[in-house]
Structure 1
Protein backbone atom coordinates (compact mmCIF):
# COMPACT_ATOMS: atom_id res chain seq x y z
CA UNK A 1 0.00 0.00 0.00
CA UNK A 2 2.75 2.45 1.00
CA UNK A 3 4.64 1.73 -2.23
CA UNK A 4 1.50 2.33 -4.31
CA UNK A 5 0.93 5.67 -2.59
CA UNK A 6 4.55 6.71 -3.23
CA UNK A 7 4.29 5.71 -6.90
CA UNK A 8 1.15 7.83 -7.18
CA UNK A 9 2.83 10.81 -5.52
CA UNK A 10 5.88 10.49 -7.77
CA UNK A 11 3.65 10.27 -10.84
CA UNK A 12 1.81 13.43 -9.80
CA UNK A 13 5.12 15.18 -9.21
CA UNK A 14 6.36 14.15 -12.65
CA UNK A 15 3.10 15.28 -14.28
CA UNK A 16 3.53 18.74 -12.76
CA UNK A 17 7.13 18.83 -13.99
CA UNK A 18 6.01 17.75 -17.47
CA UNK A 19 3.41 20.52 -17.54
CA UNK A 20 6.14 23.00 -16.68
CA UNK A 21 8.38 21.51 -19.38
CA UNK A 22 5.60 21.63 -21.97
CA UNK A 23 4.95 25.29 -21.36
CA UNK A 24 8.52 26.47 -21.82
CA UNK A 25 10.20 27.20 -25.11
CA UNK A 26 12.61 24.40 -25.93
CA UNK A 27 12.66 23.92 -29.70
CA UNK A 28 9.33 25.56 -30.49
CA UNK A 29 6.75 27.19 -28.28
CA UNK A 30 4.31 24.40 -27.43
CA UNK A 31 1.23 26.61 -27.35
CA UNK A 32 1.97 27.99 -30.82
CA UNK A 33 2.64 24.46 -32.04
CA UNK A 34 -0.80 23.31 -30.84
CA UNK A 35 -2.48 26.29 -32.48
CA UNK A 36 -0.79 25.49 -35.81
CA UNK A 37 -1.99 21.91 -35.56
CA UNK A 38 -5.61 23.00 -35.08
CA UNK A 39 -5.38 25.61 -37.84
CA UNK A 40 -3.97 23.01 -40.24
CA UNK A 41 -6.47 20.33 -39.24
CA UNK A 42 -9.07 21.72 -41.66
CA UNK A 43 -6.84 20.58 -44.56
CA UNK A 44 -7.73 16.97 -43.79
CA UNK A 45 -11.11 17.65 -42.14
CA UNK A 46 -12.58 20.36 -44.43
CA UNK A 47 -15.94 20.38 -42.62
CA UNK A 48 -14.26 22.19 -39.71
CA UNK A 49 -14.26 25.34 -41.83
CA UNK A 50 -17.92 25.10 -42.75
CA UNK A 51 -19.79 23.84 -39.70
CA UNK A 52 -19.51 23.73 -35.94
CA UNK A 53 -18.58 20.20 -34.95
CA UNK A 54 -19.02 18.01 -31.87
CA UNK A 55 -15.50 16.84 -30.98
CA UNK A 56 -13.84 14.58 -28.40
CA UNK A 57 -10.26 15.55 -27.57
CA UNK A 58 -8.76 12.37 -26.09
CA UNK A 59 -5.64 12.57 -23.91
CA UNK A 60 -6.16 16.34 -23.92
CA UNK A 61 -3.24 17.12 -21.59
CA UNK A 62 -3.01 20.83 -20.83
CA UNK A 63 -6.06 21.57 -22.98
CA UNK A 64 -4.50 23.76 -25.65
CA UNK A 65 -6.00 21.88 -28.61
CA UNK A 66 -9.40 21.93 -26.92
CA UNK A 67 -9.14 25.67 -26.29
CA UNK A 68 -8.29 26.51 -29.89
CA UNK A 69 -11.15 24.37 -31.17
CA UNK A 70 -13.59 26.04 -28.77
CA UNK A 71 -12.30 29.43 -29.90
CA UNK A 72 -13.40 28.42 -33.41
CA UNK A 73 -16.90 27.71 -32.13
CA UNK A 74 -16.81 23.92 -31.87
CA UNK A 75 -18.32 21.90 -29.01
CA UNK A 76 -15.43 20.01 -27.40
CA UNK A 77 -15.49 17.21 -24.84
CA UNK A 78 -12.03 16.71 -23.32
CA UNK A 79 -10.54 13.97 -21.20
CA UNK A 80 -7.18 12.89 -19.81
CA UNK A 81 -6.03 10.40 -17.19
CA UNK A 82 -3.82 12.98 -15.41
CA UNK A 83 -5.55 14.97 -12.69
CA UNK A 84 -2.67 17.47 -12.68
CA UNK A 85 -2.99 18.18 -16.39
CA UNK A 86 -6.76 18.54 -16.13
CA UNK A 87 -6.31 21.04 -13.29
CA UNK A 88 -3.89 23.02 -15.44
CA UNK A 89 -6.26 22.84 -18.43
CA UNK A 90 -9.04 24.33 -16.31
CA UNK A 91 -6.95 27.06 -14.66
CA UNK A 92 -5.05 28.08 -17.78
CA UNK A 93 -7.49 27.41 -20.61
CA UNK A 94 -10.92 27.14 -18.98
CA UNK A 95 -11.22 23.52 -20.12
CA UNK A 96 -13.32 21.40 -17.76
CA UNK A 97 -12.14 17.95 -18.78
CA UNK A 98 -13.11 14.55 -17.49
CA UNK A 99 -10.58 12.32 -15.79
CA UNK A 100 -10.50 8.98 -17.58
CA UNK A 101 -8.27 6.79 -19.73
CA UNK A 102 -8.63 5.34 -23.22
CA UNK A 103 -9.84 1.96 -21.97
CA UNK A 104 -13.02 3.52 -20.55
CA UNK A 105 -16.10 4.21 -22.66
CA UNK A 106 -15.85 7.68 -24.16
CA UNK A 107 -18.05 10.35 -22.50
CA UNK A 108 -20.19 11.21 -25.55
CA UNK A 109 -21.73 9.43 -28.53
CA UNK A 110 -22.79 10.54 -32.01
CA UNK A 111 -19.78 12.85 -32.32
CA UNK A 112 -18.39 14.29 -35.56
CA UNK A 113 -14.70 14.10 -34.77
CA UNK A 114 -12.37 12.37 -32.32
CA UNK A 115 -8.78 13.56 -31.90
CA UNK A 116 -5.75 11.82 -30.48
CA UNK A 117 -2.83 14.18 -31.02
CA UNK A 118 0.90 14.43 -30.27
CA UNK A 119 1.76 10.73 -29.98
CA UNK A 120 -0.62 10.09 -27.09
CA UNK A 121 -0.92 6.32 -27.57
CA UNK A 122 1.55 3.47 -27.30
CA UNK A 123 2.35 3.82 -23.61
CA UNK A 124 0.09 0.91 -22.67
CA UNK A 125 -0.25 -2.37 -24.55
CA UNK A 126 -3.85 -1.89 -25.70
CA UNK A 127 -3.89 1.87 -26.32
CA UNK A 128 -4.56 1.60 -30.06
CA UNK A 129 -7.21 -1.09 -29.64
CA UNK A 130 -8.99 0.88 -26.91
CA UNK A 131 -8.90 4.08 -28.96
CA UNK A 132 -10.33 2.36 -32.05
CA UNK A 133 -12.98 0.37 -30.16
CA UNK A 134 -14.33 3.33 -28.21
CA UNK A 135 -14.06 5.69 -31.18
CA UNK A 136 -16.17 3.38 -33.33
CA UNK A 137 -18.86 3.40 -30.65
CA UNK A 138 -18.78 7.17 -30.12
CA UNK A 139 -18.55 8.37 -33.73
CA UNK A 140 -21.68 8.98 -35.74
CA UNK A 141 -21.90 7.55 -39.26
CA UNK A 142 -19.47 9.59 -41.35
CA UNK A 143 -17.63 10.76 -38.23
CA UNK A 144 -13.84 10.96 -38.32
CA UNK A 145 -11.01 9.79 -36.06
CA UNK A 146 -7.66 11.58 -36.36
CA UNK A 147 -4.54 10.00 -34.82
CA UNK A 148 -1.25 11.93 -34.83
CA UNK A 149 1.79 9.67 -34.48
CA UNK A 150 5.52 9.59 -35.05
CA UNK A 151 6.55 7.98 -38.35
CA UNK A 152 8.76 5.02 -37.33
CA UNK A 153 10.87 5.11 -40.52
CA UNK A 154 11.62 8.82 -40.11
CA UNK A 155 12.32 8.45 -36.41
CA UNK A 156 14.84 5.65 -36.90
CA UNK A 157 16.75 7.72 -39.44
CA UNK A 158 16.81 10.94 -37.46
CA UNK A 159 16.66 10.27 -33.73
CA UNK A 160 19.54 11.23 -31.45
CA UNK A 161 20.48 8.64 -28.87
CA UNK A 162 21.30 11.33 -26.32
CA UNK A 163 19.91 14.86 -25.99
CA UNK A 164 20.04 17.56 -23.33
CA UNK A 165 17.24 20.07 -22.66
CA UNK A 166 17.60 23.05 -20.36
CA UNK A 167 14.84 25.24 -18.96
CA UNK A 168 14.44 27.25 -15.77
CA UNK A 169 16.43 25.44 -13.05
CA UNK A 170 16.26 22.07 -14.81
CA UNK A 171 18.50 20.03 -17.05
CA UNK A 172 17.02 16.96 -18.72
CA UNK A 173 19.39 14.31 -20.07
CA UNK A 174 17.38 12.10 -22.41
CA UNK A 175 18.68 8.73 -23.59
CA UNK A 176 16.76 6.79 -26.25
CA UNK A 177 17.04 3.08 -27.00
CA UNK A 178 15.09 1.49 -29.84
CA UNK A 179 13.94 -1.99 -30.77
CA UNK A 180 13.15 -2.09 -34.49
CA UNK A 181 11.81 -5.63 -34.33
CA UNK A 182 8.94 -4.59 -32.02
CA UNK A 183 8.92 -0.90 -33.05
CA UNK A 184 9.37 0.12 -29.43
CA UNK A 185 11.30 2.89 -27.68
CA UNK A 186 12.67 3.29 -24.19
CA UNK A 187 13.24 6.96 -23.36
CA UNK A 188 15.09 7.67 -20.11
CA UNK A 189 14.86 11.14 -18.56
CA UNK A 190 17.55 11.94 -16.00
CA UNK A 191 16.48 15.25 -14.48
CA UNK A 192 18.70 17.63 -12.54
CA UNK A 193 17.43 20.64 -10.62
CA UNK A 194 20.04 23.24 -9.72
CA UNK A 195 22.67 20.67 -10.77
CA UNK A 196 21.38 18.07 -8.32
CA UNK A 197 19.90 14.79 -9.57
CA UNK A 198 16.14 14.45 -8.90
CA UNK A 199 14.94 10.89 -8.49
CA UNK A 200 11.29 12.01 -8.26
CA UNK A 201 11.40 13.81 -11.62
CA UNK A 202 13.51 11.28 -13.51
CA UNK A 203 11.60 8.71 -15.53
CA UNK A 204 11.89 5.81 -17.94
CA UNK A 205 9.15 6.01 -20.57
CA UNK A 206 8.37 2.99 -22.73
CA UNK A 207 6.16 3.23 -25.78
CA UNK A 208 5.38 1.64 -29.13
CA UNK A 209 5.66 3.20 -32.57
CA UNK A 210 2.79 2.24 -34.85
CA UNK A 211 3.16 1.45 -38.55
CA UNK A 212 0.51 1.88 -41.23
CA UNK A 213 0.06 -1.89 -41.16
CA UNK A 214 -0.62 -1.80 -37.40
CA UNK A 215 -3.28 0.85 -37.97
CA UNK A 216 -4.95 -1.00 -40.85
CA UNK A 217 -5.06 -4.40 -39.12
CA UNK A 218 -6.45 -3.01 -35.86
CA UNK A 219 -8.95 -0.74 -37.63
CA UNK A 220 -10.39 -3.60 -39.68
CA UNK A 221 -10.76 -5.68 -36.53
CA UNK A 222 -12.91 -2.93 -35.01
CA UNK A 223 -15.21 -2.70 -38.05
CA UNK A 224 -13.70 0.30 -39.85
CA UNK A 225 -13.36 -0.30 -43.60
CA UNK A 226 -10.09 -0.18 -45.54
CA UNK A 227 -11.37 2.35 -48.08
CA UNK A 228 -12.08 4.80 -45.23
CA UNK A 229 -8.50 4.81 -43.88
CA UNK A 230 -6.10 7.51 -45.11
CA UNK A 231 -2.54 8.41 -44.18
CA UNK A 232 -0.85 11.82 -44.38
CA UNK A 233 2.63 13.11 -43.69
CA UNK A 234 1.45 16.15 -41.75
CA UNK A 235 -1.66 18.06 -40.69
CA UNK A 236 -1.66 19.96 -43.98
CA UNK A 237 -2.61 16.77 -45.78
CA UNK A 238 0.68 16.23 -47.59
CA UNK A 239 1.42 12.75 -48.90
CA UNK A 240 2.77 10.25 -46.40
CA UNK A 241 6.12 8.68 -47.26
CA UNK A 242 9.20 7.27 -45.55
CA UNK A 243 10.65 10.72 -44.87
CA UNK A 244 7.49 12.23 -43.40
CA UNK A 245 8.14 13.35 -39.80
CA UNK A 246 4.62 12.41 -38.74
CA UNK A 247 2.10 9.69 -39.48
CA UNK A 248 -1.34 11.30 -39.51
CA UNK A 249 -4.17 8.79 -39.63
CA UNK A 250 -7.69 9.67 -40.78
CA UNK A 251 -10.35 7.02 -40.31
CA UNK A 252 -13.96 7.64 -41.32
CA UNK A 253 -16.76 5.53 -39.86
Structure 2
Protein backbone atom coordinates (compact mmCIF):
# COMPACT_ATOMS: atom_id res chain seq x y z
CA UNK A 1 0.00 0.00 0.00
CA UNK A 2 1.36 3.35 -1.04
CA UNK A 3 2.59 5.48 1.87
CA UNK A 4 0.69 8.59 0.92
CA UNK A 5 -2.84 7.34 1.09
CA UNK A 6 -5.38 9.24 3.06
CA UNK A 7 -6.08 7.06 6.08
CA UNK A 8 -8.98 6.43 8.40
CA UNK A 9 -9.69 5.26 11.90
CA UNK A 10 -12.60 2.82 11.93
CA UNK A 11 -14.41 3.34 15.20
CA UNK A 12 -17.86 1.72 15.55
CA UNK A 13 -19.00 4.56 17.80
CA UNK A 14 -18.25 7.21 15.18
CA UNK A 15 -20.80 8.20 12.54
CA UNK A 16 -19.92 6.70 9.16
CA UNK A 17 -19.70 10.16 7.60
CA UNK A 18 -16.59 11.07 9.57
CA UNK A 19 -14.68 7.79 9.88
CA UNK A 20 -12.11 8.66 7.20
CA UNK A 21 -11.20 12.01 8.74
CA UNK A 22 -10.13 10.94 12.23
CA UNK A 23 -6.68 9.44 11.54
CA UNK A 24 -5.25 12.24 9.43
CA UNK A 25 -6.48 14.74 12.00
CA UNK A 26 -4.08 13.21 14.55
CA UNK A 27 -0.41 14.19 15.02
CA UNK A 28 0.57 10.52 14.55
CA UNK A 29 -0.49 10.55 10.89
CA UNK A 30 2.00 13.34 10.21
CA UNK A 31 4.71 11.57 12.23
CA UNK A 32 4.34 8.29 10.31
CA UNK A 33 4.45 10.00 6.93
CA UNK A 34 7.00 12.74 7.67
CA UNK A 35 9.50 11.24 5.19
CA UNK A 36 7.54 12.32 2.13
CA UNK A 37 9.75 13.58 -0.65
CA UNK A 38 9.21 17.29 -1.27
CA UNK A 39 11.64 17.50 -4.19
CA UNK A 40 9.76 14.69 -5.97
CA UNK A 41 6.46 16.47 -5.32
CA UNK A 42 7.85 19.73 -6.71
CA UNK A 43 9.23 17.96 -9.79
CA UNK A 44 5.74 16.59 -10.43
CA UNK A 45 4.17 20.03 -10.06
CA UNK A 46 6.75 21.53 -12.46
CA UNK A 47 6.10 18.80 -15.03
CA UNK A 48 2.32 18.74 -14.83
CA UNK A 49 1.84 22.52 -14.92
CA UNK A 50 4.17 22.73 -17.94
CA UNK A 51 2.27 19.91 -19.63
CA UNK A 52 -1.08 21.63 -19.03
CA UNK A 53 0.39 24.95 -20.18
CA UNK A 54 -1.56 26.83 -17.53
CA UNK A 55 -1.88 30.58 -18.06
CA UNK A 56 -0.09 32.98 -15.74
CA UNK A 57 -2.04 33.50 -12.49
CA UNK A 58 -4.35 30.58 -13.35
CA UNK A 59 -6.85 29.67 -10.64
CA UNK A 60 -5.80 26.30 -9.20
CA UNK A 61 -7.61 24.08 -6.69
CA UNK A 62 -5.55 21.60 -4.63
CA UNK A 63 -8.28 19.17 -3.54
CA UNK A 64 -7.47 17.17 -0.37
CA UNK A 65 -4.44 19.40 0.21
CA UNK A 66 -3.46 18.15 3.68
CA UNK A 67 -1.08 20.67 5.26
CA UNK A 68 -0.71 22.36 1.89
CA UNK A 69 2.77 21.43 0.64
CA UNK A 70 1.60 21.19 -2.99
CA UNK A 71 -0.57 24.30 -2.65
CA UNK A 72 2.35 26.35 -1.33
CA UNK A 73 4.63 25.29 -4.18
CA UNK A 74 1.95 25.87 -6.83
CA UNK A 75 1.54 29.37 -5.42
CA UNK A 76 5.31 29.90 -5.64
CA UNK A 77 5.03 29.00 -9.34
CA UNK A 78 2.74 32.03 -9.76
CA UNK A 79 -0.74 30.52 -9.57
CA UNK A 80 -3.75 31.71 -7.58
CA UNK A 81 -4.31 28.69 -5.34
CA UNK A 82 -7.02 27.39 -3.03
CA UNK A 83 -6.14 24.38 -0.90
CA UNK A 84 -9.14 22.43 0.41
CA UNK A 85 -9.27 19.52 2.84
CA UNK A 86 -11.73 17.88 5.21
CA UNK A 87 -9.22 17.92 8.07
CA UNK A 88 -9.68 21.03 10.21
CA UNK A 89 -6.29 20.51 11.88
CA UNK A 90 -4.49 20.29 8.53
CA UNK A 91 -6.23 23.41 7.21
CA UNK A 92 -5.38 25.30 10.41
CA UNK A 93 -1.72 24.41 9.86
CA UNK A 94 -1.79 25.16 6.14
CA UNK A 95 -3.50 28.53 6.71
CA UNK A 96 -0.34 29.86 8.37
CA UNK A 97 0.96 30.22 4.78
CA UNK A 98 -2.01 32.26 3.52
CA UNK A 99 -1.32 35.28 1.30
CA UNK A 100 -3.20 37.32 -1.34
CA UNK A 101 -3.06 34.45 -3.87
CA UNK A 102 -2.98 31.44 -1.53
CA UNK A 103 -5.96 30.46 0.59
CA UNK A 104 -7.18 27.37 2.43
CA UNK A 105 -10.59 26.12 3.48
CA UNK A 106 -12.23 23.10 5.09
CA UNK A 107 -14.26 21.38 2.37
CA UNK A 108 -15.75 17.98 1.55
CA UNK A 109 -14.59 16.94 -1.93
CA UNK A 110 -18.01 15.47 -2.70
CA UNK A 111 -19.37 19.04 -2.87
CA UNK A 112 -18.69 21.24 -5.94
CA UNK A 113 -17.24 24.74 -5.54
CA UNK A 114 -19.11 27.87 -6.56
CA UNK A 115 -15.95 29.27 -8.13
CA UNK A 116 -14.57 27.69 -11.32
CA UNK A 117 -10.94 26.64 -11.62
CA UNK A 118 -8.47 26.41 -14.52
CA UNK A 119 -6.92 23.33 -12.94
CA UNK A 120 -7.92 20.96 -10.14
CA UNK A 121 -5.33 18.64 -8.62
CA UNK A 122 -6.19 15.61 -6.49
CA UNK A 123 -2.78 14.29 -5.50
CA UNK A 124 -1.05 11.47 -3.64
CA UNK A 125 -3.91 8.94 -3.64
CA UNK A 126 -6.47 11.23 -2.01
CA UNK A 127 -9.38 9.47 -3.68
CA UNK A 128 -11.36 6.28 -3.09
CA UNK A 129 -11.49 6.23 0.71
CA UNK A 130 -15.21 6.77 1.16
CA UNK A 131 -17.38 4.17 2.88
CA UNK A 132 -19.94 4.39 0.08
CA UNK A 133 -18.55 3.65 -3.40
CA UNK A 134 -21.18 5.95 -4.93
CA UNK A 135 -19.27 8.85 -3.38
CA UNK A 136 -16.41 8.26 -5.83
CA UNK A 137 -18.75 9.12 -8.72
CA UNK A 138 -20.17 12.05 -6.72
CA UNK A 139 -16.62 13.38 -6.23
CA UNK A 140 -15.78 13.14 -9.94
CA UNK A 141 -18.99 15.02 -10.83
CA UNK A 142 -18.14 17.70 -8.22
CA UNK A 143 -14.67 18.09 -9.78
CA UNK A 144 -16.21 18.37 -13.26
CA UNK A 145 -18.68 21.03 -12.07
CA UNK A 146 -15.87 23.02 -10.44
CA UNK A 147 -13.80 23.30 -13.63
CA UNK A 148 -13.87 26.30 -15.91
CA UNK A 149 -14.87 25.76 -19.54
CA UNK A 150 -11.26 25.15 -20.59
CA UNK A 151 -10.07 23.73 -17.28
CA UNK A 152 -8.20 20.46 -16.68
CA UNK A 153 -8.25 18.10 -13.71
CA UNK A 154 -5.52 15.72 -12.55
CA UNK A 155 -5.93 12.67 -10.32
CA UNK A 156 -2.69 11.14 -9.05
CA UNK A 157 -3.57 7.66 -7.73
CA UNK A 158 -1.68 4.53 -6.78
CA UNK A 159 -1.25 1.97 -9.57
CA UNK A 160 -3.25 -0.83 -7.96
CA UNK A 161 -1.69 -3.64 -10.01
CA UNK A 162 1.85 -2.57 -9.11
CA UNK A 163 0.89 -2.04 -5.43
CA UNK A 164 -0.58 -5.53 -5.15
CA UNK A 165 2.41 -7.07 -6.93
CA UNK A 166 4.81 -5.49 -4.41
CA UNK A 167 2.63 -5.49 -1.27
CA UNK A 168 4.57 -5.94 1.98
CA UNK A 169 2.13 -7.83 4.28
CA UNK A 170 3.80 -6.82 7.55
CA UNK A 171 6.52 -4.42 8.67
CA UNK A 172 7.49 -2.14 11.54
CA UNK A 173 8.54 1.47 11.03
CA UNK A 174 10.14 3.45 13.83
CA UNK A 175 9.64 7.20 13.58
CA UNK A 176 10.40 9.68 16.38
CA UNK A 177 10.79 6.78 18.81
CA UNK A 178 7.37 5.29 18.00
CA UNK A 179 7.18 1.76 16.58
CA UNK A 180 4.39 1.67 14.00
CA UNK A 181 3.38 -1.97 13.30
CA UNK A 182 1.83 -2.13 9.82
CA UNK A 183 -0.22 -4.90 8.17
CA UNK A 184 -1.42 -4.65 4.57
CA UNK A 185 -3.95 -6.76 2.67
CA UNK A 186 -6.64 -6.77 -0.03
CA UNK A 187 -10.23 -7.38 1.07
CA UNK A 188 -13.57 -6.75 -0.65
CA UNK A 189 -11.99 -4.65 -3.38
CA UNK A 190 -10.14 -2.37 -0.94
CA UNK A 191 -6.50 -2.20 0.12
CA UNK A 192 -6.25 -2.04 3.88
CA UNK A 193 -3.44 -0.99 6.16
CA UNK A 194 -3.76 -1.77 9.87
CA UNK A 195 -1.63 0.54 12.03
CA UNK A 196 -0.85 -0.36 15.65
CA UNK A 197 1.46 1.56 17.97
CA UNK A 198 1.96 2.62 21.54
CA UNK A 199 2.84 6.10 22.83
CA UNK A 200 3.03 7.46 26.38
CA UNK A 201 1.63 4.21 27.76
CA UNK A 202 -1.43 4.30 25.52
CA UNK A 203 -2.21 1.85 22.69
CA UNK A 204 -3.56 3.09 19.37
CA UNK A 205 -5.11 1.32 16.39
CA UNK A 206 -6.05 2.88 13.05
CA UNK A 207 -7.10 1.42 9.72
CA UNK A 208 -6.52 2.86 6.27
CA UNK A 209 -8.94 1.68 3.62
CA UNK A 210 -8.68 2.72 -0.03
CA UNK A 211 -10.75 1.42 -2.94
CA UNK A 212 -8.51 -0.60 -5.29
CA UNK A 213 -9.49 1.38 -8.39
CA UNK A 214 -7.78 0.41 -11.65
CA UNK A 215 -7.55 2.54 -14.79
CA UNK A 216 -10.52 0.59 -16.17
CA UNK A 217 -12.53 1.39 -13.04
CA UNK A 218 -11.74 5.10 -13.42
CA UNK A 219 -12.66 5.00 -17.12
CA UNK A 220 -16.05 3.51 -16.22
CA UNK A 221 -16.65 6.17 -13.53
CA UNK A 222 -15.53 8.99 -15.82
CA UNK A 223 -17.81 7.85 -18.62
CA UNK A 224 -20.72 7.85 -16.18
CA UNK A 225 -19.75 11.32 -14.95
CA UNK A 226 -19.47 12.73 -18.49
CA UNK A 227 -15.73 13.30 -18.17
CA UNK A 228 -13.19 13.06 -21.01
CA UNK A 229 -9.98 11.24 -20.10
CA UNK A 230 -7.28 12.94 -22.16
CA UNK A 231 -4.05 11.26 -21.07
CA UNK A 232 -2.46 8.91 -18.54
CA UNK A 233 1.07 8.82 -17.10
CA UNK A 234 2.91 6.30 -14.95
CA UNK A 235 5.19 8.46 -12.80
CA UNK A 236 6.02 12.01 -11.75
CA UNK A 237 8.33 12.48 -14.74
CA UNK A 238 5.23 11.89 -16.91
CA UNK A 239 6.51 8.67 -18.46
CA UNK A 240 4.11 6.29 -20.17
CA UNK A 241 1.69 4.31 -17.99
CA UNK A 242 2.31 0.56 -17.88
CA UNK A 243 -0.42 -1.49 -16.23
CA UNK A 244 1.79 -3.75 -14.10
CA UNK A 245 5.02 -1.77 -13.69
CA UNK A 246 4.23 1.93 -13.32
CA UNK A 247 4.58 3.50 -9.87
CA UNK A 248 1.58 5.80 -10.28
CA UNK A 249 -1.65 6.17 -12.23
CA UNK A 250 -1.85 9.85 -13.23
CA UNK A 251 -4.96 10.83 -15.19
CA UNK A 252 -5.61 14.12 -17.02
CA UNK A 253 -9.23 14.86 -17.84
CA UNK A 254 -11.74 17.61 -18.58
TM-score normalized with structure 1 length: 0.83
Distance 1:107 1:169, change over 3 A: farther
Larger helix share, 1 or 2 = 1
1:238 and 2:239 matched: yes
Partners in 2 of 1:250 and 1:153 — Cα distance?
A: 19
Matched, 1:67 2:75: no
- Gaps in structure 1 of 5+ consecutive residues: none
- In the other structure, the counterpart of 2:48 is 41
Partner of 1:133: 141
The residue aligned with 2:118 is 112
Q: Indicate the residue corresponding to 1:219 in structure 2.
A: 222
Match of 1:18 in 2: 29
The question of whether the paired residues in 1 share the 8 Å contact of 2:31 and 2:175 is answered with no
**Deviation of the 1:129 alpha carbon:** 1.1
Secondary structure, in 3 states, of the residue corresponding to 1:130? helix
Match of 2:197 among 191, 194, 200: 191
1:122 aligns with one of 100, 125, 128 = 128
Distance 2:153 2:237 in 1: 16
Work out which of the residue numbers 41, 55, 58 in structure 2 matches 1:53. 58
Structure 2: gaps (5+ residues): 1-12
Distance 1:129 1:31 in 2: 30
Q: Secondary structure at the match of 2:26?
A: helix
Distance 1:240 1:168, change over 3 A: same
Alpha-carbon spacing, 1:41–1:13, altered in 2? closer, same or farther (3 Å): closer
User: Structure 1 stretches (4+) deviating beyond 4 angstroms?
Assistant: none
Match of 1:248 in 2: 250
Distance in structure 2 (CA, Å) of the matches to 1:37 and 1:138: 23
* Count, aligned residues: 233
Question: Residue 77 of structure 1 corresponds to which residue in structure 2?
Answer: 82
* Larger RCO (CA within 8 A; separation ≥ 6): 2
- Give, in whole Å, the separation in 2 of the partners of 1:13 and 1:78: 16
Inter-partner Cα distance in structure 2 for 1:143 and 1:13:
29
- 3-state DSSP class of the match of 1:97? strand
Q: How far, CA to CA, are the matches of 2:235 and 2:51 in structure 1?
A: 9
Cα distance change, pair 230–211 in 1 and its aligned pair in 2 (3 A): same
**CA separation in 2, counterparts of 1:140 and 1:90?**
25
- CA-atom RMSD in angstroms: 2.4
